[in-house]
Chains A and B, each alone.
Chain A
Amino acid sequence: MEKNSCRAECAISLLPVLAVAALGGVFTLVGKEPILVFHGAIMALSGALAALYLFRKMLAPPAEIPLEYNDKIIRAAVIMILIWGIIGFGVGDIVAWQLAYPNLNFDLPWTNFGRLRPVHTTAVILGFGGNALLATSFYVVQRTSRARLAGQVTPWLVFWGYNLFVFLGVTGYLFGVTQSREYAEPEWYADLLALLVWIGYFWIFLATLARRAERHIYVANWYFLGFIIAFAMLHIVNNLSVPISLEYAKSYSLFTGVQDAMTQWWYGHNAVGFFLTAAFLGMLYYFLPKAANRPIYSYRLSIIGFWGLVFTYMWAGSHHLHYTALPDWVQVLGMSMSLILLVPSWASVFNGFFTLNGAWHKLRYDPALRFMTLAVLFYAIATFEGVFMALKPVNALSHYTDWTVGHVHAGALGWVAFITIGSLYKLVPWVWHREGTYSRRLEAWHFWLALSGAVIYVGAMWNAGITQSLMWQTYDANGQFVYSFMDSVDMLHPYYVARAIGGLLYLVGFMIGAYNIWLTINPPTPAEIPSTPETRPLPASGVVAQPAAQPAE
Chain B
Amino acid sequence: MGKLHQMIERNSIVLVLMITIVASIGGIIEIAPLFTIQNTVEKVEGMRVYTPLELAGRDIYVREGCYACHSQMIRKLKTDVDRYGHYSLAAESMYDRPFQWGSKRTGPDLARIGGRRSDEWHVRHLKEPRKVVKGSLMPGYAFLADTDIDPQRIALSIKALQWAGDPYTDEMVKEAAKDAIRQASPDMDDAESIKERYGEKVQIRDFDGNPARVTEMDAMVAYLQMLGTLVDTKALRAAVKAQRQAAESKPAGKAKEVAAR
Contact = CB atoms under 8 A, between A and B. Distances in A.
Interface of A: 32, 98-99, 102, 105, 107-109, 112-115, 117-118, 173, 176-182, 206, 209-210, 215-217, 222, 225-226, 229-230, 233, 237, 241-245, 247-248, 250-264, 266, 300, 303, 307, 310-318, 320-327, 330, 333-334, 337, 396, 399-402, 404-405, 472-473, 481, 485-486, 489-490
A178 B62 CA distance: 7
B98 A253 contact: yes
A378 to B, nearest CB: 21
Given A206-B16, A242-B163, A472-B79, A252 B97 contact: yes
Interface residues of B, number: 87
B10 interface: yes
A147 B128 CA distance: 61
A278 to B, nearest CB: 10
B97 A253 contact: yes
Given A257-B90, A262-B31, A114 B68 contact: yes
User: A-side binding surface: helix, strand, loop or mixed?
Assistant: helix
A333 B135 CA distance: 40
Nearest to A176: B63
B64 A115 contact: yes
A311 B160 contact: no
A320 B163 CA distance: 30
A240 to B, nearest CB: 10
B113 interface: no
A229 B65 contact: no
Interface in B50-99: 59, 62-69, 71, 73, 75-77, 79-80, 82-83, 87-99
Nearest to B130: A102
B26 A248 contact: no
A252 B157 CA distance: 8
Given A180-B65, A225-B19, A325 B137 contact: no
Nearest to A121: B68
A32 B166 CA distance: 26
B153 A250 contact: yes
Contacts of A242: 160-161, 163-164
B258 interface: no
A222 B15 contact: yes
Interface string B167-186: 00000000000000000000
B99 A261 contact: yes
Given A242-B160, A244-B159, A485-B107, 12 more contacts: A107-B141, A225-B16, A229-B16, A244-B153, A252-B97, A261-B101, A310-B19, A311-B22, A314-B23, A323-B75, A326-B90, A333-B30
B75 A243 contact: no
Given A310-B19, A324-B73, A472 B83 contact: yes
B254 interface: no
A233 B15 CA distance: 16
A257 B30 contact: no
B103 interface: yes
Contacts of B137: 98-99, 102, 489
A252 B98 CA distance: 7
A215 B6 CA distance: 10
A107 B142 contact: yes
B83 A325 contact: no
A315 B157 contact: no
B211 interface: no
A217 B15 contact: yes
Nearest to B73: A324
Contacts of A98: 137, 139
Given A244-B157, A260-B97, A481-B82, A303 B26 contact: no
A502 B246 CA distance: 59
B188 interface: no
A464 to B, nearest CB: 11
Contact of B23 (A226, A318, A473, A490): A226
B243 interface: no
Secondary structure of the B contact surface, majority rule: helix
B135 A114 contact: no
B108 A485 contact: yes
A333 B137 CA distance: 37
Contacts of B161: 242, 252
Contacts of B138: 102
A327 B29 CA distance: 13
Given A242-B160, A248-B153, A252-B164, A118 B65 contact: yes
Contacts of A489: 106-107, 135-137
B245 interface: no
14 contacts: A102-B129, A102-B138, A115-B64, A210-B12, A225-B19, A242-B160, A256-B166, A300-B1, A311-B22, A311-B26, A313-B26, A324-B101, A325-B73, A325-B88
Contact of A259 (B1, B35, B95, B143): B35
B235 interface: no
A254 B163 CA distance: 10
A243 B161 CA distance: 10
B24 interface: yes
Residue of B20, B103, B163, B164 with highest tally of chain A CB at under 10 A: B103
B97 A255 contact: yes
A285 to B, nearest CB: 13
Contact of B139 (A113, A259, A472): A113
Contacts of A102: 129-130, 136-139
Contacts of A253: 97-98
A491 to B, nearest CB: 10
Interface centre among B10, B23, B31, B67 (most CB of A within 10 A): B23
Contact of A311 (B23, B39, B69): B23
Given A257-B95, A325-B93, A105 B140 contact: yes
Given A180-B67, A303-B1, A489-B137, A318 B83 contact: no
B100 interface: yes
A103 to B, nearest CB: 8
B1 to A, nearest CB: 7
B65 A173 contact: yes
Contact of B64 (A112, A252, A255, A266): A112
Contacts of A405: 104
Contacts of A264: 98-99
Contact of A256 (B80, B82, B93): B93
B40 interface: yes
Contacts of B20: 229, 233
A395 B226 CA distance: 29
A113 B68 contact: yes
Contacts of A472: 79, 83
B156 interface: yes
Query: What are the nearest 9 A-B pairs in CB distance?
Result: A314-B26, A114-B65, A107-B140, A105-B139, A257-B93, A323-B75, A315-B26, A112-B139, A176-B63
B116 interface: no
B117 interface: no
A318 B130 CA distance: 36
B190 interface: no
B27 interface: yes
Given A230-B23, A254-B164, A400-B104, A176 B31 contact: no
Interface in B5-52: 5-6, 9-10, 12, 15-16, 19-20, 22-27, 29-31, 34-35, 37, 39-41
